[in-house]
Structure 1
Amino acid sequence: MAEVQFLGHSCFRLRGRDGTIVCDPYHRSIGLDIGRPTATIVTVSHHHPDHDNAAAIRPLRERVFVVDGPGEYEIGGVLITGVRTFHDQVKGAERGFNTVYIIHLDDLVFCHLGDLGHELTTGQLEEIGSNVDVLFVPVGGGETIGSALASNVISQIEPRFVIPMHYAMGQTNFDPPLAPLEKFISEMGLKEYTAEDKFVINANALPADEEQTRIVILRPVNG
């Protein structure tokens, strides 16, 4: 069983028996305050203040292990695979690279897309795999994918659960500004929703593969 909390923007904390992971911690210069969350592992999708503030994370053990780029990592029973992607639709020519992370925690598979800027290639999808339980997907547009492309990427990956991120939450230095969550909600045809403080998922109680992907909306909490 693992617990997911949304710390704002594209930052999540995953807690399980094998470790605690914080994905894409941001600097308060973006207009949000991440607090001082604790973790054993930090993943960084790319180097920008709204995604790479590993210094804000306090260690749960002797130190925080920072995963920064493509490759395979095994840290204290947590298996992480970083897949190279791009921050734009022209193979990185405008904004460079982005790393998608697949995190195996407590018999569950999480996928954090970072600032993905394009639909995924066949090779990237093969690296990600076909058994993603929870997908963290950017939906606000700007320098990453917006709601329409997010919907396409969700269809490519076919996860059991989707948690949107990287949408308008009062961030102050984004040009163009990010789109609101409601645009993605409309794109996905979701009629109503209730935001939760956390999402608890159990590998022994997952929906069947043939069931429709479920959208989970998390309310940001202070780390």
Structure 2
Amino acid sequence: MKIKFYGHASFLIEDSKGVKIITDPYEPGSYGSLNYKPIDEPADIVTVSHDHADHNHVASVRGTPTVIKTPGTHEVKGISIKGIKVYHDKSSGRERGENIIFTMEVDGFRIAHLGDLGHTLTEAHAQQLGPIDILLIPVGGFYTIDSSEAHEVLKTLNPKLVIPMHFKTPAVDFPIAPVDDFIKGQPNVKRLGTSEVEISHLPATTEIWVLDPAKL
């Protein structure tokens, strides 16, 4: 399985059969603050955690993908995807609306993409989600959970591999924090120096892998 980080909350996940999933495609220039280059790559499946322009720009994906933007269980091209409703804020959606966490089973790995999660998760959420191998988690704060809240989520979900997203880069003018705030003082961090990684096995203990945005 391959995971490629485009930037913001957008990833390409490709299984061993070549099925491609793109998460939360962004609109370049959205809100005058997101300046990643266009994705402009094909996918079979697109997941959208919520309807904000920096997460829902399906038009930036080539081909005719199946778009999943609702809670519930979905099966597409042999990939099982489950959406669970949470919120984009700490006030049950009154500030920024709902958000969907998507879990997916790819090549035997269970991946969770948290979208713009705005609050920590309970044990009840963890039960709904089930065991998580690979966690794609926002860490920049302001619009989402911040670095300390992200670490609380890690304690709740206990994934083996953590890939941070939704953080400040030269292409982002939003008032969010850089990934350094999340990884500071953590002994289990690997800065891979690449935007793409191939995963064939999981680490024995939880590790944080930092990917460079491909679309800077």
TM over 0.5: yes
Distance 1:147 1:187, change over 3 A: farther
Structure 1 position 169, deviation (Å)? 1.3
2:127 maps to a residue whose letter is E
Residue 101 of structure 2: aligned partner: 100
Aligned with 1:123: secondary structure? helix
Partners of 1:65 and 1:123 in 2: CA distance: 29
Map residues 1-223 of structure 1 onto 2, 5 A cutoff.
Answer: 2-16=1-15, 17=17, 19-29=19-29, 30-59=34-63, 63-130=64-131, 132-174=132-174, 177-186=175-184, 188-189=186-187, 193-202=191-200, 205-207=201-203, 211-222=204-215
Which runs of 5 or more residues in structure 2 are unaligned? none
Query: For 1:197 and 1:119, how far apart are their aligned partners in 2?
Result: 27
What is the percentage of aligned positions where both structures have the same residue? 36
TM-fit CA distance, 1:197: 2.9
| C-alpha displacement of 1:122 | 2.7
TM-score by length of 1: 0.89
Gapped runs of 5+ residues in structure 1? none
Pairwise CA distance, 1:91:
1.2
Number of equivalences: 211
Equivalent-residue separation in structure 1 for 2:5 and 2:190 (angstroms): 20
What SS class does the counterpart of residue 154 from structure 2 fall into?
Answer: helix
SS of residue matched to 2:2: strand
Once the two structures are superposed, what CA deviation does each residue of 1:35-90 show, in whole Å capped at 9, x if it has no partner?
3011100000001111001111012xxx2100002110000100000010000111
The 8 Å contact of residues 189 and 208 in structure 2, kept in 1 or not, is answered as no
CA distance in 2, matches of 1:217, 1:192: 6
- Cα distance change on mapping 1:216 and 1:172 into 2, 3 Å: closer
- 1:145, 1:191 → 2: CA distance? 19
Contact 2:6 2:213 survives alignment (8 Å)? yes
Local SS of the residue matching 1:28: coil
Query: In the alignment, residue 7 of structure 1 is paired with which amino acid?
Result: Y
- Quick check: 2:192–2:210 contact (8 Å CA) kept in 1? yes
Partners of 2:123 and 2:156 within 8 A in 1 = no
Tell me how large the CA RMSD over aligned residues is. 1.8
Measure how far apart 1:192 and its partner are.
Answer: 6.6
CA distance in 1: counterparts of 2:74 and 2:188, whole angstroms: 36
CA distance in 2, matches of 1:162, 1:206: 11
Which range is displaced more, 163-172 or 139-148? 163-172
Supply the distance in 1 between the matched residues of 2:107 and 2:83 (Cα, whole angstroms). 18
Report runs of 4+ in structure 1 exceeding 2 Å deviation. Answer: 170-174, 187-197
Task: Tell me if structure 2 keeps the 8 A contact 1:18–1:77.
Answer: no
